[in-house]
A and B are shown apart, each in its own frame.
Chain A
């Protein structure tokens, strides 16, 4: 089976702004893949390129081996997208909206009705099936976006910030549901700002910044790339920072508290204690703080910022502005 998503040197330019910069990424079939990055990193542009809402400037993009432009019908048929913005047909009750979407994917009317009922039950808004989108609460709207993505029974489910601004209960419901879908064999691509979400759900994550791929790894691998901090309280505050071994990246002393930054706190702590005791210090207590994925994420994107040349990268403001332009706030106008 070809990968669920395979892009090679994918480029998207908006005038001088390069929203995607030679992005090569592979998501295997059945994976739960996370896409992390700050605002304007190009996550939504990447997704929209796959579903046909953004036309790539260069490179290649395939979904289950189907080119997103040459074989757009097969590629789009395989994808169910729950976007960030509420882009739902306001003219019809939500059950009919789902039936229409299923219909566009070639599902006959009767079966489309059954599927609409099924997904509405699955996301917990079946009672609202005869309401129009505008009458739903924010959380229900978010659930409907997921139902619409599921009604076509996609092989690839793309969730663009699905839990942005939703309450804890809904977030947990959504997590449970997508985990279930993934276990049933659906490939999931998730973009999120919530690091905890990626850590909890994803098999692998890609970190993006300014249209580039910074790294791809499992959440656990990423965490090993961070440093731990061993915080030691000494019985007597020394006048100068004690000398420690080469394993320490940095050691700082504040009163009686010594903080030492190391690669692996667990295995380094005994040696640090030995070294301190050998130097005549008495230890009162010790605490190891592991780096969070969030800190690693911030660190990686910051490092990338430093190495990105000004000539080929947009400013954060430009990039954020671009994302804003992709998803302008819309108002409902009079219906004729």
Chain B
């Protein structure tokens, strides 16, 4: 897997966003300073603790980390693929002897790294507003890696399916953002009536935000609302399902590369 060719493509993908911090790291940093300032301090000061012992601003941190991570992982992968298709320089990769698995893993891996870097930046910004201590470090890292890779994988599909740049915006604004905003980023599921709690469980984003919150703060809505017999395993079940989903999405990416969907005539 770590062939010279794979490393060359992975490195190229990393350098593309690392050398453009104004386009890649500054916007989420500024947005999240605003989120923490407005939602955390100005509004948050007037909101009761969503769950006992966790102030609103601290409660926000995991959700905003997830929001930044997945949108950047998605955006990077979809943009990289689509821009390469648009200007046809993706042919440099496609006409090379890299295997389809190597191509996909390099694109997904680099995009996941961008998502994770943005996640860390947001956590650091959060730390400036409120003290944070990591409760379940290993679980947190595993979850972050999985969801970053998952959305990088979705980004590949987005980049292959898109027909113009507007399509990428539509995917981000009309699909990703609503799911995240109703994904318990800004509120706890325990604050919702039971019907809406149940409806929320259909939103995959809930499990991601909840898992990261469990890893970071040691608090999980699932522990509270899942049936008692399963509650203890709920965060691990979420991680397991997300991991399987990620593997599935990456397999779809490889298949699409293999059949040349959106890439070959």
Q: What is the interface of chain A, defined by CB distance below 8 A to chain B?
A: 14, 45, 48, 51-55, 72-74, 76-77, 79, 81, 83, 85, 87-92, 97, 99-109, 112, 148, 326, 330, 332-333, 335-336
Contacts and interface: CB of A to CB of B under 8 A. Distances in A.
A97 B93 CA distance: 11
A14 to B, nearest CB: 7
Interface string B62-99: 00000000000001000100011011110111111111
23 contacts: A45-B265, A51-B94, A52-B264, A53-B95, A55-B259, A55-B264, A72-B97, A76-B96, A77-B96, A77-B97, A83-B91, A88-B92, A89-B92, A90-B87, A97-B92, A103-B8, A104-B5, A105-B97, A148-B92, A330-B87, A330-B88, A335-B83, A336-B23
A101 B4 CA distance: 11
A91 B96 CA distance: 19
B20 A335 contact: yes
Range of interface residues on B (Cβ < 8 Å): 35 or more
Contacts of A102: 8
A174 B131 CA distance: 65
B265 A105 contact: no
Interface in B75-131: 75, 79, 83-84, 86-89, 91-99
Given A54-B265, A92-B15, A107 B92 contact: no
Contact of B79 (A104, A332, A336): A336
B167 to A, nearest CB: 13
Contacts, number: 103
B4 A106 contact: yes
A79 B95 contact: yes
Contacts of A330: 86-88
Closest 5 CB pairs of A and B: A103-B8, A104-B96, A87-B88, A77-B97, A73-B97
A108 B11 CA distance: 12
Nearest to A75: B97
A104 B87 contact: no
A333 B165 contact: yes
Given A106-B4, A332-B87, A53 B79 contact: no
A102 B96 CA distance: 9
B177 interface: no
Contacts of A55: 259-260, 264-265
Nearest to A328: B88
B9 interface: yes
A89 B91 CA distance: 9
A23 to B, nearest CB: 16
Contacts of B88: 85, 87, 330
Given A77-B97, A101-B96, A87 B87 contact: yes
A318 B265 CA distance: 16
B83 A333 contact: yes
Given A87-B87, A104-B97, A106-B4, A335 B23 contact: yes
Contact of A103 (B5, B24, B79, B99): B5
B89 A52 contact: no
A14 B8 CA distance: 34
B195 interface: no
B165 to A, nearest CB: 6
Nearest to B78: A336
A78 B9 CA distance: 19
A54 B75 contact: no
A103 B4 contact: yes
